[in-house]
Structure formats: structure tokens, C-alpha cells
């Protein structure tokens, strides 16, 4: 396995050196002017130790989870997480809004109402909000204010992350032993699926960020594996491990032998992945025959199926797996509560074990993969004090409509009672494997 070394202790191991004539702009992150402002802002809200990030925040989550700092992330329209967050330490809460959308505006208004109801004046409530109006340079999203502001307010020394990235920048201009080029040349080698897994060496949440980056940028299917032993299949699947640092002679992947292993500090990881993506050509979306409209539905227990002629959950899941063969894949998107309904994610490894094809899972909305068959899971809302449920339903409907326009097969399974419905889904997946 070839090792490409760089500054900041970052290394990329590859099973083979493919080589490519790739160029890019390798300037440093250029965030030094932001650092004093972050320090000043953190001082101003030092008495508010419950930081809530509203909007896309996978980079901020990776930073705070890796460095052991608390952060509440609301990157969903599901009412459950929002209502839980509003009931948690409201008197010590500062809200960082990292994007503008109908969902983030609804959550901001919910917090404003809660602050005013708690007795704060409008001026006092205004102090509890930080709006990040960030114009993100290409390839710098993880080291932009949208990620660094919530991380800094949560107590992270973001200057260290910037230093790690800056230390790596010079290596990205090299022709040889350039980690971004090494990674990009492999990503450009024609793989349909990229399986990403943590090697267990300390970077928590980075795989989710990498998966989202790949999905949004390259036109490949990212499969974020639960652990190195989790099932993933496909003849054109690239397996990548990511982690902090490995000692001399240690097998990259913590015992798993991947196609590529990327190891190094978190700030350097962000920069090398974003540069590698910038060096990798975007795939064209393959054409598809429009999927026939299937209006039949079934109801079994707590699950109602749409877009399928199946008569049961087992038949619906089995039909999706058959549709992924011989060389396709299944992408699962859950428009549910990532905490209260977390068990639904177990559907991915169960179906992957049966499918013999790649199966991906993500919480909606997700960047859309360019092909494949699709399972969307929705659920009834038990409590919706702030009218977020309609926004979530609209997101899911727009997702289905776009997939249908692209000619993709999309089946929706709706859970009338979420806990019971998830049990049904998992039992059906196990039945397929028996």
C-alpha cells in the first residue's frame, strides 16, 4: 500500500498509485481575520453554555464531537428534536443560525417565541441569536464561519484547526507526495460507490461529513458504514477509512485493509478532502427510463406503502432489493427523528447483508444520488407545537417528485406509529435474510 505523506501529520495510503494530471488552487484557508472575531463573540456570550446550531452542521458536529465539546444540532424539520432542544436549558441557550431556509426560519421563530415567553425583552432575546451570513469559498465549507462559529461558542479552540489546515496547505501545491492528488486520483477511477468508515482513531462524526461531501459533489453513492465489519457490496465499490493518527507499522483501518486510508488531524482532514473533491471530475448523471407510476398502496400494521404493488412490508423491501440488481443500489432516506427513531438506521446493514449490492442510509433531506432505487421512510408526527411537520412533509414530497422526474423508482413507507413501524421494518428485513 502506497503512503503519501504531508505536513500536519496527514497521510493518505492507497492500494495502488493511479496517477492523474490534476491541478488546483492551493491557497491557505485564509481564516486568520475571523479568529479574533470568534474569540470576541465567545467572550460576549460566555454565560450561555448551551449552543444550538440551526442549519447544516455536519462539520461543526464532527469538530465538537471529536474534541468532546457539547453542541445541539438542529439540521432537521422533524418536530421531535426541536421540541426537545427548546425544553433544554433555555435560560443558557445561544442559537447559531448557519443557513437561510424555511426550516431554519421556523426554528428561529420558535426560539424567539420561547425566549420572549420566558420573560426576556426583545433586546435580551436578540442577544441570544448569532446569524452566520457566510459566503463560503469553493472547497472551504468545513473551515468557514458556518462551522467554526458554533464550534468556537461550544468551547473549541478553532485556531488549532485552522493551524492544522494551514500547515497542510503547502503540501497541496506539490506534484508528488501530494495527499489531495493521491486521494483525487483514486476517487476519479470510476467507482460507483464509496464506502466510508472510521478506523477508530479518534475522529468522531467525520465519516458523516465526508459522505455528505461525496454525495453533493461527485455523483457517486456514499455508504457510511457503522463499523469496519459492517456489510458493503458491489464490484465497483471503493472502501475508504478515515482517522486521527496511526503508529508506525499499524494497518490502516484498525485491522481493515481499505483501498484508501486517510489519517491526520481534523483540520487537515477537512482541507485534504475538499481539495481532493475539487480535483475530481464530477460524474455525469446516467440516463434512466422513466419509472412506471404505481398508485397501489398497502397497509400492514403501522406501515402503509406507496409507489409499490407489493402487499406487505417484506414484499416491498424485497422488490426494492431486486430492483437494485444486477449492478444498481438501494438508497434509504428517513424523514424521521435522528435520536428518537435512531433504530431505523439498522435497516441499512440488514438489507445490505441480503442485497449483495450497496445499500446507503441517510436522514432527510440528502443530496440525491444519480441512480439506483430509493426507499423513503416517513412517519406520523405525535406533537408539532411549532408547525414543522408540514415543512418536513413538503421536503419529503419534493424529494419524491424530483426522483420520479429523473426516472428513479421511489417507494415510500409511512409509519402511522413510529416505534411500532420501525420494529416492523427491521423484522421484515430480517425475514428477507432467513
Domains of the chain by residue range: 2-18+163-279, 34-159, 297-433
CA dist 430 and 314 (Å) reads: 9
- What pLDDT band is residue 246 in, cutting at 50, 70 and 90? low
**pLDDT tens-digit profile of 284-295?**
666 555 566 667
What's the whole-number average pLDDT of the chain?
87
Is the model's pLDDT at 345 over the cut of 90?
A: yes
Is the model's pLDDT at 214 over the cut of 70?
A: yes
pLDDT at 253: 58
Bridge partner residues of 195 (DSSP): 223, 239
Mean per-residue pLDDT for 159-172? Answer: 90
CA distances from 215 to 232, 396, 415 (A): 17, 18, 27
Instruction: Tell me which fold the domain 2-18+163-279 belongs to.
Output: Rossmann fold (3.40.50)
Task: Report percent pLDDT > 90 for the chain.
Answer: 62
CA dist 259 and 7 (Å) reads: 22
CA dist 95 and 51 (Å) reads: 6
Give the three-class secondary structure for 51: strand
Is the model's pLDDT at 352 over the cut of 90?
A: yes
Same fold flag, 34-159 and 297-433 = yes
- What pLDDT band is residue 18 in, cutting at 50, 70 and 90? very low
- What pLDDT band is residue 251 in, cutting at 50, 70 and 90? low
Kindly state the helix (H) or strand (E) to which residue 159 belongs, with its residue range.
helix 158-169
- Looking at domain 297-433, its CATH class is alpha beta
pLDDT at 218: 87
Buried b / exposed e along 294-332 (16+ C-beta atoms within 10 A):
eeeebebebbbbbbbebebbbbbbbbbbebbeeebbbbb
- Looking at domain 34-159, its CATH class is alpha beta
- What pLDDT band is residue 274 in, cutting at 50, 70 and 90? very high
pLDDT at 231: 86
Kindly state the helix (H) or strand (E) to which residue 185 belongs, with its residue range.
helix 179-187
Is residue 46 exposed (0-12), middle (13-18) or buried (19+ Cβ within 10 Å)?
Answer: exposed
pLDDT at 407: 85
Cα-Cα end-to-end distance for the chain? 38
- What pLDDT band is residue 16 in, cutting at 50, 70 and 90? very low
CA dist 38 and 172 (Å) reads: 27
Question: What's the DSSP call for residue 170?
Answer: G
pLDDT at 321: 94
Give the three-class secondary structure for 17: coil
User: Among 272, 277, 274, which residue's Cα sits nearest to residue 218?
Assistant: 277
Contacts of 153 (CB under 8 A, 6+ apart): 41, 42, 45, 48, 51, 94, 96, 130
pLDDT at 367: 85
DSSP string, 271-294: HHHHHHHHHSPPPPPPP-PPPPP-
CA dist 181 and 278 (Å) reads: 10
pLDDT at 236: 87
- What pLDDT band is residue 344 in, cutting at 50, 70 and 90? very high
Least confident range of 22-31, 407-416, 422-431 = 22-31
**pLDDT tens-digit profile of 380-410?**
999 999 999 999 999 999 999 989 888 888 9
Is the model's pLDDT at 27 over the cut of 60?
A: no
- The C-alpha torsion from 59 through 62 and 68 to 74, rounded to 10°, is 70
Q: Phi and psi dihedrals of 113, rounded to 5? A: -60, -40
- What pLDDT band is residue 249 in, cutting at 50, 70 and 90? low
CA dist 423 and 319 (Å) reads: 19
Mean per-residue pLDDT for 245-255? Answer: 60
Is the model's pLDDT at 26 over the cut of 50?
A: no
- What pLDDT band is residue 21 in, cutting at 50, 70 and 90? very low
Amino acid at each position: 500500500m502506497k503512503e503519501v505523506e504531508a505536513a500536519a501529520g496527514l497521510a493518505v495510503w492507497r492500494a495502488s498509485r493511479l496517477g492523474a494530471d490534476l491541478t488546483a488552487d492551493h491557497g491557505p484557508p485564509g481564516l486568520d481575520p475571523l479568529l479574533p472575531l470568534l474569540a470576541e463573540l465567545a467572550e460576549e456570550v460566555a454565560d450561555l453554555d448551551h449552543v444550538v446550531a440551526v442549519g447544516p452542521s455536519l462539520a461543526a458536529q464532527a469538530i465538537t464531537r471529536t474534541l468532546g465539546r457539547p453542541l445541539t444540532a438542529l439540521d432537521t424539520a422533524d418536530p421531535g428534536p426541536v421540541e426537545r432542544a427548546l425544553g433544554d436549558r433555555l435560560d443558557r441557550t445561544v442559537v447559531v443560525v448557519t443557513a437561510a431556509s424555511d426550516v431554519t426560519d421556523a426554528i428561529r421563530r420558535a426560539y424567539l417565541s420561547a425566549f420572549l415567553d420566558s420573560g426576556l425583552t426583545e433586546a435580551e432575546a436578540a442577544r441570544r441569536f448569532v446569524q452566520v451570513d457566510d459566503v463560503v469559498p469553493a472547497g472551504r465549507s468545513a473551515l468557514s464561519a458556518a462551522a467554526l462559529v458554533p464550534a468556537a461558542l461550544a468551547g473549541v479552540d478553532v485556531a488549532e484547526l485552522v493551524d492544522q489546515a494551514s500547515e497542510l496547505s503547502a503540501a497541496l501545491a506539490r506534484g508528488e507526495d501530494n495527499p489531495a492528488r493521491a486521494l483525487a486520483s483514486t476517487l476519479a477511477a470510476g467507482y460507483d460507490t464509496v464506502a466510508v468508515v472510521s478506523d477508530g482513531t479518534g475522529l468522531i462524526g467525520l465519516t458523516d461529513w465526508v459522505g455528505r461531501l461525496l454525495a453533493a459533489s461527485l455523483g457517486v453513492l456514499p455508504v457510511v458504514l457503522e463499523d469496519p465489519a459492517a456489510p458493503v457490496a458491489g464490484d465497483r465499490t471503493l472502501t475508504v477509512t478515515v482517522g486521527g493518527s496511526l503508529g508506525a507499522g499499524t494497518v490502516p483501518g484498525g485491522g481493515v485493509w481499505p483501498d484508501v486510508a486517510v489519517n491526520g488531524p481534523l483540520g487537515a482532514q477537512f482541507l485534504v478532502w475538499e481539495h481532493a473533491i475539487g480535483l475530481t471530475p464530477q460524474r455525469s448523471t446516467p440516463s434512466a427510463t422513466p419509472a412506471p407510476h404505481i398508485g397501489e398502496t398497502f397497509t400492514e400494521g403501522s406501515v402503509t406503502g406507496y409507489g409499490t404493488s407489493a402487499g406487505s412490508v417484506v414484499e416491498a423491501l424485497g422488490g426494492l432489493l431486486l430492483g437494485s440488481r444486477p449492478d444498481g443500489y438501494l438508497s434509504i432516506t428517513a424523514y424521521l427523528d435522528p435520536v428518537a427513531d435512531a433504530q431505523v438506521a439498522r435497516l441499512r446493514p440488514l438489507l445490505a447483508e441480503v442485497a449483495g449490492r450497496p445499500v446507503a442510509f441517510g436522514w432527510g433531506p440528502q443530496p440525491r444520488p444519480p441512480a439506483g432505487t430509493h426507499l423513503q421512510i416517513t412517519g406520523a408526527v405525535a406533537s408539532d407545537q411549532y408547525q414543522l411537520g408540514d415543512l418536513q412533509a413538503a421536503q419529503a414530497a419534493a424529494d419524491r417528485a424530483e426522483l420520479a422526474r429523473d426516472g428513479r423508482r421511489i417507494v415510500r413507507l409511512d409509519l402511522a406509529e413510529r416505534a411500532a413501524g420501525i420494529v416492523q421494518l427491521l423484522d421484515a428485513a430480517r425475514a428477507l435474510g432467513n
